[in-house]
A and B are shown apart, each in its own frame.
Chain A
Amino acid sequence: ETGVTQTPRHLVMGMTNKKSLKCEQHLGHNAMYWYKQSAKKPLELMFVYSLEERVENNSVPSRFSPECPNSSHLFLHLHTLQPEDSALYLCASSQAETGTGANVLTFGAGSRLTVL
Chain B
Amino acid sequence: AQKITQTQPGMFVQEKEAVTLDCTYDTSDPSYGLFWYKQPSSGEMIFLIYQGSYDQQNATEGRYSLNFQKARKSANLVISASQLGDSAMYFCAMRGGTDKLIFGTGTRLQVFP
Contacts and interface: CB of A to CB of B under 8 A. Distances in A.
Contacts, number: 58
A54 interface: no
Given A43-B91, A105-B47, A109-B42, A100 B53 contact: yes
B52 A102 contact: yes
Given A92-B45, A104-B50, A109-B43, A41 B105 contact: yes
Given A105-B45, A107-B46, 11 more contacts: A42-B4, A42-B103, A42-B105, A92-B45, A100-B29, A100-B95, A100-B97, A102-B33, A107-B37, A109-B42, A110-B44
Which of B4, B43, B50, B100 has the largest number of chain A CB atoms within 10 A? B43
A106 B31 CA distance: 22
A84 B72 CA distance: 37
A42 B43 contact: no
Interface of A: 40-43, 45, 48, 56, 88, 90, 92, 97-102, 104-110, 112
A104 B93 CA distance: 11
Interface string B1-36: 000100000000000000000000000010111010
A100 B106 CA distance: 22
Contacts of B97: 99-100
Interface of B: 4, 29, 31-33, 35, 37, 42-47, 50, 52-53, 91, 95-97, 99-106
Contacts of B95: 100-101
A6 to B, nearest CB: 9
A88 B53 CA distance: 31
A17 to B, nearest CB: 22
Contact of B32 (A45, A90, A100, A109): A100
B4 A100 contact: no
A45 B33 contact: no
Nearest to B94: A100
B53 A105 contact: no
A83 to B, nearest CB: 20
B47 A100 contact: no
A102 B51 CA distance: 8
14 contacts: A42-B103, A45-B101, A45-B102, A48-B100, A88-B43, A90-B43, A98-B99, A100-B53, A100-B96, A104-B47, A105-B45, A107-B46, A109-B43, A110-B43
